């Protein structure tokens, strides 16, 4: 494994530890995630983030373009999550689609946050 591979592995471990640690300390739950799956979304989201960041690794766009893309995707995922939660709560837990938007939205939030952290920590500019 080359120097870039070792640095990316170290960055991935740091980003994963931050996000999973935040999930374990209840940050996701305090921001609106359901208490039953507030920790599980950290693990699944980090896995999604690895896939997303790997896909963007081959894109030859600029560093700022990738940063803005990850930030916009994180904002969209946050909006979908909020919308899903509000619809689910308003339906008194009857709207299954809104529940899915809420759950998968949280996974996407963690995934895009992981990709954003990896990109910020990356030495490739």
CA angle 92, 83, 75 (to 5 degrees): 155
The model's pTM is 0.94
Report pLDDT for 125: 59
Tokens of 116: 């954003």
Residue 3 CA, chain-centre distance (Å), reads 26
Residue spans of alpha helices (H) in the chain: 3-24, 27-30, 40-57, 63-90, 96-121
Interatomic CA distance for residues 70 and 125, integer angstroms: 15
Q: Which sign, positive or negative, has the C-alpha torsion 14, 17, 76, 26?
A: negative
Interatomic CA distance for residues 5 and 19, integer angstroms: 21
Q: Measuring CA to CA, which residue among 57, 43, 20 is closest to residue 107?
A: 43
For residue range 81-90, list pLDDT tens digits in order. 999 999 999 9
For residue range 18-73, list pLDDT tens digits in order. 999 999 999 999 999 999 999 999 999 999 999 999 999 888 888 999 999 999 99
């Amino acid at each position: 494994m080359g120097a870039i591979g070792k640095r990316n592995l170290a960055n991935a471990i740091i980003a994963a530890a931050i996000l999973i640690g935040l999930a374990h300390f209840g940050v996701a739950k305090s921001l609106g995630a359901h208490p039953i799956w507030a920790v599980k979304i950290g693990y699944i989201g980090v896995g999604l983030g690895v896939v997303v960041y790997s896909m963007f690794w081959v894109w030859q766009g600029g560093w700022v373009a990738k940063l803005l893309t990850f930030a916009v995707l994180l904002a969209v995922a946050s909006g979908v999550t909020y919308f899903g939660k509000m619809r689910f709560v308003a339906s008194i837990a009857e709207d299954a689609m809104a529940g899915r938007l809420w759950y998968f939205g949280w996974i996407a939030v963690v995934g895009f946050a992981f990709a954003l952290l990896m990109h910020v920590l990356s030495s490739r500019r």
